[in-house]
Amino acid sequence: MALSRCFLRRQRRGRARKSKNIFSFTSFKDSLGEKEIDESRRNEDLPYFDLSTIAAATNNFSSDNKLGQGGFGPGFGPVYKGVLLNGKEIVVKRLSNSSSQGLQEFKNEIVLIAKLQHRNLVRILGCCVEGEEKMLIYEFLPNKSLDFIIFDDSKRSLLDWKKHLEIICGIARGILYLHHDSWLRVIHRDLKASNVLLDDAMNLKISDFGMARIFGGDQMEGDT
């Protein structure tokens, strides 16, 4: 009997620990107008990071780790580079508490990017929601954005004509996936060179879905 009680207590503690590492989409009320989303898929989970983990990864949000300010949309504040304990490099996108638009953009990115998987879309690794802090965690892409390359004379030479064509085709593949091939049909609404990121092999990934909208069939859902 004592052994069975001990086993049950361990099971409960294990479930509690697991629940802390998962962020549920249902914690946000629907405000995107996505009537076409299947309820069972809307309840998918996103990995959750503790604030202490992100603070450690960014050296307590050090200015030395800061990549920029509001570069992912008007609703977001500083953006940081971080390194997790396992050595994985990440980007931390921190919500601006002073922006009324920020929460909506945060919801958009959680609902959309976490459910879209394509080699030409940036990959979200998880989120952190703790107190007033709301942050999104992404894969780190070392070659920054396309505008950083094409508007810098010293870096423009990295893109030969073959790479130009690959980038154009990659953008087209990503947009085709969003508009036609994904079960969530999405219009980005803010596609520009600064939202096209490049990995270490100069492969592109479309980012920043804060202004995106979902549509189904020929009927648009939300503003265009």
Reported as a single tens digit per residue, the pLDDT across 136-145 is: 999 999 999 9
Mean pLDDT of 4-24: 48
Please check whether residue 133 is in contact with residue 48, taking contact to mean a CB–CB distance below 8 angstroms.
Answer: no
Please check whether residue 71 is in contact with residue 148, taking contact to mean a CB–CB distance below 8 angstroms.
Answer: no
pLDDT band (50, 70, 90) for residue 169: very high
| Catalytic residue flag (residue 190) | yes
Name the pairing type of β-strands 186-187 and 196-198: unpaired
* Residue-level pLDDT at 5: 52
Q: Smallest Cα–Cα separation from 118: which of 167, 177, 171?
A: 177
Q: State the chain's mean pLDDT as an integer.
A: 78
In this structure, the number of other CB atoms found within 10 A of the CB of residue 214 comes to 21
Please check whether residue 45 is in contact with residue 24, taking contact to mean a CB–CB distance below 8 angstroms.
Answer: yes
Compute the distance between CA of residue 45 and CA of residue 26 in angstroms, rounded to an integer: 9
Mean pLDDT of 131-135: 89
Mean pLDDT of 107-128: 86
CA 35 vs CA 60, 82, 208: distances in Å = 40, 36, 22
Compute the distance between CA of residue 102 and CA of residue 70 in angstroms, rounded to an integer: 10
Compute the distance between CA of residue 94 and CA of residue 76 in angstroms, rounded to an integer: 6
Phi-psi region of 33 (alpha: psi -120 to 50; beta: other; left: phi over 0): left
Share of the chain above pLDDT 70, in %: 70
Which residue's structure tokens are 């490049």? Answer: 198
Kindly name the residue from 190, 200, 208, 218 that is annotated as catalytic: 190
Strand, helix or coil for residue 151 = coil
Name the pairing type of β-strands 186-187 and 213-216: antiparallel
Q: Does the predicted TM-score (pTM) go above 0.85? A: no
Tell me the pLDDT tens digit for each residue of 40-93: 344 456 789 999 999 999 999 999 999 987 655 555 789 999 999 999 999 999
Highest mean pLDDT among 5-19, 52-66, 128-142, 202-216: 52-66
* Residue-level pLDDT at 9: 52
Domain 17-220 has CATH 1.20.1250.20: no
